[in-house]
Amino acid sequence: MQELLDEQREAVQKQSGHPIDVVEDPTLSVPSKTELAWKHGTDTHRILYRPVAPAIIPHFVLRAIEHIAMESEARATGQNQKFVTTPATREVAIKAIGRDIYKLRDMGIPEAALTDYVLQIIAGLGLQLYNCPLDMVVEYRLYKRFPLIRPHQFVSLRQTQADNLQVVTSKEIKRTTPNLIFAASAAMNYAYALFADQLFGGKTAFAAQYPPGDFRAAGESLFNIWKTAIEDFDTGDEYTLMKQFAETLGLVGWFQLAADVTEATFAGYDPPPTDQELLKQREPATMMHLLGALQRFETMTPEDVKRVASEISIIGMNGITFTDPDKRFTLRTLPGEEFTGLQLLAMMFVGWKQVEPTLNTGLDFEQAFQAALLLHRRT
């Protein structure tokens, strides 16, 4: 087995133009991880793995080498693509799960954590959408090309299938995950189970362990898409598979594939920071909007104030444009009115200041707020 690993490692080192280091890392939070040289700006690819059963390690290493090989092939032909999210894609995703976000808030998830949680699970679904069809291709290639790896592959994938099934059957995960995201994730897990059953010649019954659910039909569709694609698979076809998976799962617009011949990475969630210096320049206007919020909330109950602040926080997950005075927003909690981005930020700041004073909104409005508060008390 070591001879096979060494041969493939040497071959892919030549193919990619970078040496490959294999390192045991007990600090990893995931079973294994591959750091591509062109992704991390280094001269060396690194394959990291957590100490696990010795039977699994060869599969981890060979799978990572195959991932590097596939990306090298795509880069060599100019077909490599990266999976990214943008403000526009985040807006599509957030709108699609809007009702579920309100349910999560009603469950008592702290407002300070809700934004990060929602964006993290959206990014997590993106990673699964990127990796699921790609992993199916990689595992198929390993099984067909390297018979020696099959026993190790079986032990490793059996553990993966057990982990995937646990996610789908967990009542707590289902309760705290937006329905669309849970259904899409479950469908991909089910498709992967169907794939593994076929890979091992029907000697396993991973898919049969899944509970009934609508996700099964979607999972079968995904698996059929993969089966059709693998019959005549060519370099770069994995990206077409990802698009087809997204279409089947109703996730078009949630993520984008962009040409990437120099870097291969999933951008995930990287929210644009609020321009505090620009906000500082608008402090006089900010102070007046804060005063307006104080006056507005004076006649509202704390529960209503919290609803307004919560709705603005949800809008803020996708970023609130405050530099364009013509950009208008509407709120379901304040129907019939339109607001600028700066007005929304001011209302959110005042709202949380009143109902959850310890909550950090990330806005440097304190000085303007104190001035607005002084004026409010004088009126």
For 290-344, what is each residue's pLDDT tens digit?
888 999 999 999 999 999 999 898 888 767 766 655 567 889 999 988 888 888 9
In the chain, the amino acid numbered 342 is L
Give 232's Cβ-side CA count (13 Å radius).
1
One domain for residues 217 and 100: yes
Of 230, 247, 271, the position where a domain reaches its end is 271
110 — pLDDT class (breaks 50, 70, 90): low
* 3 state SS of 257: strand
Greater model confidence, 169 or 176? 169
Q: Can you tell me the mean pLDDT for 228-251?
A: 93
d(CA 250, CA 181): 10
The pTM assigned to this predicted structure is: 0.71
One domain for residues 248 and 322: no
Given a cut of 50, whether residue 271 has pLDDT beyond it is no
Rounded (5°) CA angle 235-236-241: 120
Of 255, 271, 287, the position where a domain reaches its end is 271
d(CA 1, CA 310): 56
Of 215, 242, 271, the position where a domain reaches its end is 271
Q: What angle, 0 to 180 degrees and rounded to 10, lies between the N-to-C axes of helices 341-355 and 366-378?
A: 80
**Residue range of the domain that includes 10:** 1-76
Using CA atoms of 230, 239, 143, 158 in order, give the dihedral in degrees to the nearest 10.
Answer: -110
One domain for residues 57 and 150: no
One domain for residues 266 and 291: no
The dihedrals phi and psi of 332, each to the nearest 5 degrees, come to -65, -30
SS (H, E, C) 313-351: HHHHCCCCCCCCCCCCEEECCEEEEEECHHHHHHHHHHH
One domain for residues 164 and 234: yes
In this structure, are residues 139 and 161 in contact, taking their beta carbons and an 8 Å threshold? no
One domain for residues 344 and 199: no
pLDDT tens track for 114-173:
777 788 888 889 989 999 999 999 999 999 999 999 999 999 999 999 999 998 998 888
One domain for residues 20 and 125: no
User: What's the start-to-end Cα distance of the chain, in Å?
Assistant: 81
One domain for residues 216 and 329: no
One domain for residues 263 and 180: yes
Helix (H) or strand (E) holding 111: helix 111-145
In this structure, are residues 348 and 361 in contact, taking their beta carbons and an 8 Å threshold? yes
R_g over Cα of the chain? 25
Strands (E), 205-361: 256-259, 329-331, 334-339
Q: Is 220 left (phi over 0), alpha (psi -120 to 50) or beta?
A: alpha
Strands (E), 156-197: none
In the chain, the amino acid numbered 241 is L
One domain for residues 288 and 370: yes
One domain for residues 239 and 142: yes
d(CA 168, CA 210): 8
Q: Is the dihedral angle over the CA atoms 97, 99, 100, 104 positive or is it negative?
A: positive
* 3 state SS of 252: strand
d(CA 154, CA 56): 9
Give me the residue label for tokens 């794939």: 195
Domain count, the chain: 3
One domain for residues 98 and 178: yes
In this structure, are residues 76 and 17 in contact, taking their beta carbons and an 8 Å threshold? no
Give me the residue label for tokens 């995937």: 164
pLDDT tens track for 128-145:
999 999 999 999 999 999
d(CA 332, CA 159): 46
In this structure, are residues 67 and 80 in contact, taking their beta carbons and an 8 Å threshold? no
Q: What pLDDT, on the 0 to 100 scale, is given for residue 270?
A: 38
Kindly state the percentage of the chain with pLDDT values over 70: 89
Q: What pLDDT, on the 0 to 100 scale, is given for residue 325?
A: 56
